[in-house]
């Protein structure tokens, strides 16, 4: 209990002083997770929309596979990426193991199925509303993909945010492929894991509060941008 009571003032002190070490850890956490989410969105959004709209023989199999990958254990992803990037692995020549790039890759693998599955559901719902009109105007299911991704951009922002939530709070994969190296691959979550294993529970909790605050700031910023865009109906932004 004393750890919890110590954690609040410690978290406040860490934030107010903006300790250089904390700054470094926050910066890396955001850089890794945001990069992973952006890459996952680039892959997951069109794939999810394609899975929603296109018809092909193995479609049902890929939907089930996508849904199954939602529950990928992070440590398993970390292990697989580790094996791929290790010196004896097929991509060992890239020298990415124990670097932030490896962490981005691992989080990207975790987050892409989430964005893909949520996008698929959103686009399927949109297609019910738009199908007749788009087909009448000459859009095939394939051509409807970029149109519906744009039409559903407000809801899809929430899908991407869900992916960010998974990434920023993830530790199992990045601790394996990143190694939790001080000043290099140590993020908020791996620092929490380390401090907990050292018995510095108050510090670990404080870092946890900082992480939650960070996540709230990112979510609040995106929410504010979304509300602003909705209010002005994105006037002035050219549609694809």
Partner 1 sequence: MQDVNLTITAGGKTVLLGPNGAGKSLIMRLCHGLLAPTAGRITWAGGPIAWARDRQAMVFQRPIMLRRSVAENIEYPLSLRGFGRGLRRQRLREALQMAGLTNHANLPARLLSGGEQQRVALARAWVIRPEVLLLDEPTANLDPTATGAVEQVIEEFAQAGVKIIMTTHDLSEARRLADEIVFMHRGCVAEHQPARQFFGAPQSREGKAFLAGQLSW
Residues that bind partner 1 (CB under 8 A): 129-130, 132-139, 143, 147, 150-151, 153, 233-235, 238-239
- Cα→Cα distances 205→36, 50, 104, 198, Å: 25, 42, 25, 13
Nearest distance from residue 12's CB to partner 1, in Å?
A: 42
Whichever of 151 and 170 has its CB closer to partner 1, that residue is 151
Nearest distance from residue 164's CB to partner 1, in Å?
A: 23
Q: What is the DSSP string of 9-48?
A: HHHHHHHHHT-HHHHHHHHHHHHHHHHHHHHHHHHHHHHH
Whichever of 2 and 238 has its CB closer to partner 1, that residue is 238
Whichever of 58 and 235 has its CB closer to partner 1, that residue is 235
Nearest distance from residue 38's CB to partner 1, in Å?
A: 23
Q: How many CA atoms lie within 13 A of 235 on its CB side?
A: 2
Nearest distance from residue 131's CB to partner 1, in Å?
A: 9
HEC string of 48-97 equals HHHHHHCCCCCHHHHHHHHHHHCCCCHHHHHHHHHHHHCCCCCCHHHCCC
Whichever of 75 and 234 has its CB closer to partner 1, that residue is 234
């Amino acid at each position: 209990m004393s750890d919890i009571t110590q954690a609040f003032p410690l978290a406040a002190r860490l934030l107010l002083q903006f300790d250089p070490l904390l700054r470094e850890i926050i910066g890396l956490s955001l850089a890794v997770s945001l990069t992973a989410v952006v890459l996952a969105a680039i892959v997951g959004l069109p794939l999810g929309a394609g899975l929603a709209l296109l018809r092909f023989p193995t479609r049902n199999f890929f939907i089930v596979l996508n849904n199954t990958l939602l529950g990928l254990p992070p440590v398993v992803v970390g292990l697989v990426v580790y094996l791929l990037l290790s010196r004896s692995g097929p991509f060992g020549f890239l020298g990415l193991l124990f670097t932030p790039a490896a962490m981005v890759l691992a989080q990207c693998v975790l987050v892409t199925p989430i964005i893909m599955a949520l996008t698929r559901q959103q686009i399927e719902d949109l297609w019910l509303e738009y199908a007749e009109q788009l087909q009448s105007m000459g859009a095939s299911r394939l051509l409807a993909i970029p149109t519906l991704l744009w039409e559903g951009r407000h809801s899809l922002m929430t899908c991407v945010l869900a992916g960010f939530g998974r990434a920023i709070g993830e530790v199992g994969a990045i601790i394996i492929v990143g190694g939790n190296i001080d000043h290099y691959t140590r993020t908020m979550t791996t620092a929490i894991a380390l401090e907990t294993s050292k018995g510095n529970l108050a510090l670990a909790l404080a870092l946890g509060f900082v992480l939650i605050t960070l996540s709230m700031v990112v979510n609040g910023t995106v929410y504010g941008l979304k509300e602003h865009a909705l209010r002005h109906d994105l006037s002035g932004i050219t549609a694809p």
